[in-house]
Amino acid sequence: MLGISPDTPKAQLKFKEKEDLPYTLLADDKKEVARMFDVLKEKNMYGKKVMGIVRSTFLIGPDGKIVHIFSPVKPEGHAEEVLAEVKARG
Protein backbone atom coordinates (compact mmCIF):
# COMPACT_ATOMS: atom_id res chain seq x y z
CA MET A 1 0.00 0.00 0.00
CA LEU A 2 1.23 3.49 -0.87
CA GLY A 3 0.02 6.97 -0.12
CA ILE A 4 0.88 9.83 -2.46
CA SER A 5 0.39 13.52 -1.76
CA PRO A 6 1.73 16.84 -3.01
CA ASP A 7 3.35 17.46 0.38
CA THR A 8 7.11 17.61 0.79
CA PRO A 9 8.93 14.52 2.12
CA LYS A 10 9.60 16.37 5.39
CA ALA A 11 5.90 17.17 5.88
CA GLN A 12 4.95 13.60 5.01
CA LEU A 13 7.38 12.13 7.53
CA LYS A 14 5.91 14.34 10.25
CA PHE A 15 2.36 13.30 9.26
CA LYS A 16 3.28 9.60 9.06
CA GLU A 17 4.83 9.68 12.52
CA LYS A 18 1.94 11.68 14.02
CA GLU A 19 -0.70 9.32 12.59
CA ASP A 20 1.43 6.16 13.03
CA LEU A 21 0.75 5.11 9.43
CA PRO A 22 1.84 1.57 8.51
CA TYR A 23 2.50 2.27 4.84
CA THR A 24 4.89 4.19 2.61
CA LEU A 25 4.15 7.79 1.64
CA LEU A 26 5.46 9.20 -1.63
CA ALA A 27 5.95 12.90 -2.29
CA ASP A 28 4.48 14.34 -5.48
CA ASP A 29 5.38 17.95 -4.79
CA LYS A 30 5.49 18.73 -8.55
CA LYS A 31 2.06 17.07 -8.95
CA GLU A 32 3.28 14.87 -11.80
CA VAL A 33 1.57 11.72 -10.49
CA ALA A 34 -1.60 13.71 -9.73
CA ARG A 35 -1.73 14.75 -13.38
CA MET A 36 -1.06 11.20 -14.59
CA PHE A 37 -3.94 9.86 -12.48
CA ASP A 38 -6.16 12.83 -13.38
CA VAL A 39 -6.83 13.88 -9.79
CA LEU A 40 -5.61 17.48 -10.13
CA LYS A 41 -8.85 19.36 -10.68
CA GLU A 42 -10.28 22.84 -10.42
CA LYS A 43 -11.89 23.28 -7.02
CA ASN A 44 -13.79 26.05 -5.31
CA MET A 45 -12.14 27.25 -2.10
CA TYR A 46 -13.70 30.13 -0.21
CA GLY A 47 -15.28 31.40 -3.43
CA LYS A 48 -12.04 31.23 -5.43
CA LYS A 49 -11.25 28.71 -8.14
CA VAL A 50 -8.00 26.88 -7.42
CA MET A 51 -6.31 23.74 -8.68
CA GLY A 52 -6.26 21.04 -6.04
CA ILE A 53 -6.08 17.31 -5.47
CA VAL A 54 -9.31 15.33 -5.44
CA ARG A 55 -8.71 12.69 -2.78
CA SER A 56 -8.90 9.34 -4.47
CA THR A 57 -8.02 5.69 -3.89
CA PHE A 58 -6.89 3.45 -6.72
CA LEU A 59 -7.08 -0.30 -6.27
CA ILE A 60 -4.37 -1.83 -8.45
CA GLY A 61 -4.38 -5.50 -9.37
CA PRO A 62 -1.41 -7.90 -9.44
CA ASP A 63 -0.95 -7.15 -13.15
CA GLY A 64 -0.39 -3.45 -12.37
CA LYS A 65 -3.71 -2.33 -13.88
CA ILE A 66 -6.26 -0.21 -12.06
CA VAL A 67 -9.23 -2.39 -11.11
CA HIS A 68 -11.29 0.12 -9.12
CA ILE A 69 -11.28 3.86 -8.42
CA PHE A 70 -12.83 5.48 -5.35
CA SER A 71 -13.22 9.22 -6.01
CA PRO A 72 -13.85 11.55 -4.37
CA VAL A 73 -12.96 9.96 -1.04
CA LYS A 74 -14.70 10.85 2.20
CA PRO A 75 -12.88 9.64 5.35
CA GLU A 76 -15.99 8.26 7.04
CA GLY A 77 -16.36 4.60 6.12
CA HIS A 78 -13.75 4.69 3.37
CA ALA A 79 -11.47 2.02 4.82
CA GLU A 80 -14.42 -0.34 5.14
CA GLU A 81 -15.53 0.40 1.58
CA VAL A 82 -12.06 -0.39 0.20
CA LEU A 83 -11.75 -3.54 2.29
CA ALA A 84 -15.15 -4.76 1.05
CA GLU A 85 -14.05 -4.21 -2.56
CA VAL A 86 -10.79 -6.10 -1.97
CA LYS A 87 -12.67 -9.00 -0.37
CA ALA A 88 -15.20 -9.08 -3.20
CA ARG A 89 -12.36 -9.47 -5.70
CA GLY A 90 -10.99 -12.47 -3.76
pLDDT digits (tens, 9 = 90+) for 35-83: 999 999 999 989 999 999 999 999 999 999 999 999 999 989 999 999 9
Residue 90, pLDDT score: 82
Instruction: Mark whether 31 and 48 lie in a shared domain.
Output: yes
Instruction: Mark whether 59 and 45 lie in a shared domain.
Output: no
**Range(s) of the domain holding residue 5:** 1-53
Q: What is the DSSP string of 12-41?
A: HHHHHHHHT--SEEEE-TT-HHHHHTT-EE
CB 39 within 8 A of CB 53: yes
- The tally of domains found in the chain comes to 2
Instruction: Mark whether 19 and 34 lie in a shared domain.
Output: yes
Instruction: Mark whether 3 and 42 lie in a shared domain.
Output: yes
Instruction: Mark whether 4 and 25 lie in a shared domain.
Output: yes
Maximum distance among all Cα pairs of the chain, rounded to whole angstroms: 44
Instruction: Mark whether 31 and 60 lie in a shared domain.
Output: no
